Each structure stands twice: as C-alpha cells, then as structure tokens.
Amino acid sequence: QLRSMSRSIVRQSKFRHVFGQAVKTEQGYDDIRVSKVTWDSSFCAVNPKFLAVIVESSGGGAFLVLPLSKMGRLDKNHPLVTGHAGPVLDIDWCPHNDNILASCSEDTTAMVWQIPDQMGTQPISEPIVVLEGHSKRVGIVTWHPTARNILLTAGSDNLIIIWNVGTGEALISMDDHPDLIYNVSWNRNGSLFCTTCKDRRLRVCDPRKREVVAERMAPHEGIRPMRAIFTRDGNLFTTGFTRMSQRELGLWDPTHFEEPIALLELDTSNGVLLPYYDPDTNMVYLCGKGDSSIRYFEITEEPPYVHYLSTFSSKEPQRGMGFMPKRGVDVSKCEIARLYKLHDKKCEPIAMTVPRKSDLFQDDLYPDTAGPDPALEPEEWLEGRDEDPILQSMRDGYVPPKSRELKVARKNVLDSRPTPRRSMSSRDGSPQLVDWLLEEVKNLKATVLSQEKRICDLENKLSKYTNGTA
C-alpha cells in the first residue's frame, strides 16, 4: 500500500532518495550487554560526544557511557555508571551540556550525572543530584528543549514532575493522568508537552498553568501503547494500533482534534513504534521494538501530509535506538541523521545520507539547527517566558565544547531569600568573601528588577481590565 502510494505521486523533495547505511563492523560498539528490562524506552541516548546504553547489571541498575570515538570491542574494565538501586528505565542527554545525563529507575528516583571527558577506570556512582518525589518507579525522563536545567520526569504513580536540577527542587507537579503514562514530548519552545496514556487519551499539557489544554480520546482505536511527538509547527505525530491490531500512524492539529490531518495504516507487526523526529528536515524515523527495519517519512503541508520515503532494512531485530542531535552528524558526507541501533550484544550506528555529487557544504540540507546554548534561565521559563532554541550554522560542522560543570545550589527551605548562584559551602576555605557578597548583591538586584517588571506587567493587565479595554 505504501509503495504504490509513493509511486503514484511523484513530488519534488530533496529527501526522496535518503538512504540508510550501517557502518563497517569495526566502527560499531561490541560486547555490550543491553538491558533485558521489559519497558518501552529506547535504552540508548547519544550526543556529539558520547553514547550511553542501559545495560544488564546484577543488583541495582547501571548504564554504560562510551566516548563516540571508542569503537570496536568494549574494554572489560570500562567503568559503568552505577548509582541506582533498581533497573534503569530511561536516560536522556542534556541538550545544553554534552557532559550531563539524566537517568531514572525502578528505585523511584531520577538522577543527574556529570560524565567526564576522560572516563578513568572507576565506576561512576555519585550523581550530581538525586531527584526524589515519585512514589513508584520512574519510567520517563526528558529535558526541556530551551531552558537551562529544567527536567521532566514521569512515574508509574501517574505523576509528572518538573524539576530545576540546578537547585534540586521540584517546581511543578501534575496529576492529571489516571493511568500509566506511555510517553511525554515537549514542543519546540518548551511551552507545552504532549502525553500518551494507558487510558487511551492523547493530551496536550501547559505545565505552568498546570492544566491539560487539549485532549483527544483514542486517536488510535487499539488498546496497545501509543506514542506522540510534537512537530515543528505544533501538530502532533502519533503512532499506535487499530482495533484489528494493525500498526498505524497519525498527524493531528491539537486545536481541531476531531479529525486527523492524516491517518495511515502500516502493517500487522506488534512492536511499539518509536518515532524519532528531525525538525530541520521535518522527517520522522519509525523504529519498532523487535523490528529489523527503520521506516522514514516526510511531513509536509500538502496532501497526503505524511509521505512515505523509504525503509532501511537489516537482518537483526533492534532492542532499542538512539538518535543523534543534528549538530552531531557529518555534513561532509551529506549525512542528515544518524541512528544508533541496539542489538542484544552490540550497538550499530546507521547513517542516513542524501547522495550528492558535490563536496561543497549543502546549505539546503542543513538549515541552522538547535545549538547547545540554552535560550532561557529556569526562573524566566517558570515566570512564563518562551523562547525558540538558539540556532547555529552547520557550515563548519560541530565541535563539542570542553566539559562544563553543573553546580547544584541547594535551596534552604527555611530561607526565603533567593539563593546565590554559588552557595556558601562551595567556597570551602577560600577567602573570596567579597566576590561572594558582590555576587549575592547582584543576584538580589536582578531578582528585585525582575519582580518589579512582573509587578509592572500585572498592573498593566489589571488596568486593562478595570478600564474595560481587555
């Protein structure tokens, strides 16, 4: 059905001939014992510096972090990251710092880790911060796309908690879901997120209003798990099952949830389809757990809206998948995406390329992409500001910056003053009291200014209402 569709409409698209290719064997990562936990997460997270994989571990939970350059057979003594008391269920690299990773576990906690550029030989067992707030296992962890240090977790207690990991505190808690949450996806500027849930509802949530702003019952009629992600322009791309257990994908406008923009049946396989979306090309890569293929589609503004492009097939089924942020692809090879496919015992990178004859930089393939700088501080986001990602050119490729440390300044609950960026304890024995006092004064001034601006904004709003102009 898909093949005939793509043949009947020959349309102009530079992505009609994207093709996938697995790297040579020696450029893969071997002897990795991938976790056997039955959980529908991707078990793998990558960024331009590191590959992280959730692995089998006796007693507690562990994951492996490898520098991307460490290909080939895994060194027997390579250290694991071992801080969780139960199996690790999900991991996510911070989009604003390539050395920071968040993990969550059956032990009801989420943890944030600083991964050094040089790993050493000892296991890493001390997280920078432990986030304790869920009463059951935590199955989902995902960073805010544009605000520094904002992390979302979702647990089997059906709670969603949004944290400021720089202070270790829970900022927002939402309990709108009556059943298990299958997945959570932020929109492009992080003003909203969408969720899929075992109650078969697709929801769009505004975290700062702490409310569900749109929902749709059963976008896919089957009872098996769904997935949903936001596209660049605010629509929702979903994967699920029909009543007859066919796999299905859909595209929805959350402001008109009654009818889908597109709904497409795929096949009768039973693995949950994990969608990986690239906002720069508006392409989505579908990887079914247990499938041995990756299908990819282009989302456009003209019918049929979701265009099947092609399928990358291989012999072995995938246990999970990692998706490289765009700034980590190789522009000199016209690579527009790279996926990291987990087998039982290894991880295999798969490059998606657009064949071009020229060696020059192809600017039509590489619009400016989200860079590593956050667009907002956590306080600004919490107060209601929204910013799109700060973009950077791909022309000269991407060079990851040196490791930056994430410092956690614990808030003292008894102290209502804003905490200084550097807490007193972090100056152990150093005589820089004057620096610290100046910093404290500066922070307090900034807080006063932002509060004055907020008062001003609120007064303006108020006067509009009292004058009847609103």
Q: Per residue in 29-49, pLDDT tens? A: 999 999 988 888 899 999 999
Return the pLDDT at 427.
38
Number of structural domains (the chain) is 1
Check residue 463 and give its pLDDT: 79
At residue 129, the pLDDT reads 97
pLDDT per residue as tens digits for the range 275-323: 999 999 999 999 998 899 999 999 999 999 999 999 999 999 999 999 9
Is 79 within a domain?
yes
> 267 pLDDT exceeds 80?
yes
Instruction: Average the pLDDT over 16-31 and give the result.
Output: 93
In a domain, 455, yes or no: no
Residue 85 pLDDT more than 80? yes
Segment 356-415, tens digit of pLDDT: 988 899 999 999 999 999 999 999 999 999 999 999 999 988 777 777 778 787 665 444
The highest-confidence range among 228-232, 267-271, 353-357, by mean pLDDT, is 228-232
Q: Which residue has the higher pLDDT, 76 or 189?
A: 189
Residue 399 counted as domain residue = no
pLDDT of amino acid 403: 74
pLDDT at 469: 63
Lowest model confidence (mean pLDDT) among 181-185, 199-203, 353-357, 418-422: 418-422
Within-domain flag for 420:
no
- Mean pLDDT across 452-466: 77
Residue 343 lies in a domain: yes
Q: Where residue 253 sits, what CATH number does that domain have?
A: 2.130.10.10
- Does residue 426 carry a pLDDT above 50? no
Per residue in 48-84, pLDDT tens? Answer: 999 999 999 877 899 999 999 999 999 988 999 999 9
pLDDT in tens, 108-121: 999 999 999 988 88
Give residue 7's pLDDT. 47
Would you state the pLDDT for residue 420? 35
Q: Specify the pLDDT at position 428.
A: 43
Percent share of the chain, pLDDT over 70: 92
In a domain, 459, yes or no: no
- Note down the domain range covering 276: 19-392
pLDDT given at position 397: 80
The mean pLDDT value of the chain amounts to: 90
In three state form, how does the secondary structure of the chain look? CHHHHHHHCCCCCCCCCCEEEECCHHHCEECCCECCCCCCCCCEEECCCEEEEEECCCCCEEEEEEECCCCEECCCCCCEEEEECCCEEEEEECCCCCCEEEEEECCCEEEEEECCCCCCCCCECCCCEEEECCCCCEEEEEECCCECCEEEEEECCCCEEEEECCCCEEEEEECCCCCCEEEEEECCCCCCEEEEECCCEEEEEECCCCEEEEEEECCCCCCCCCEEEECCCCCEEEEEECCCCCEEEEEECCCCCCCCCEEEECCCCCCCEEEEEECCCCEEEEEECCCCEEEEEEECCCCCCEEEEEEEECCCCCCEEEECCHHHCCHHHCEEEEEEEECCCEEEEEEEECCCCCCCCCCCCCCCEECCCCCECHHHHHCCCCCCCCEECCCCCCCCCCCCCCCCCCCCCCCCCCCCCCCHHHHCCCCCHHHHHHHHHHHHHHHHHHHHHHHHHHHHHHHHHHHCCC
What mean pLDDT do residues 135-162 have? 98
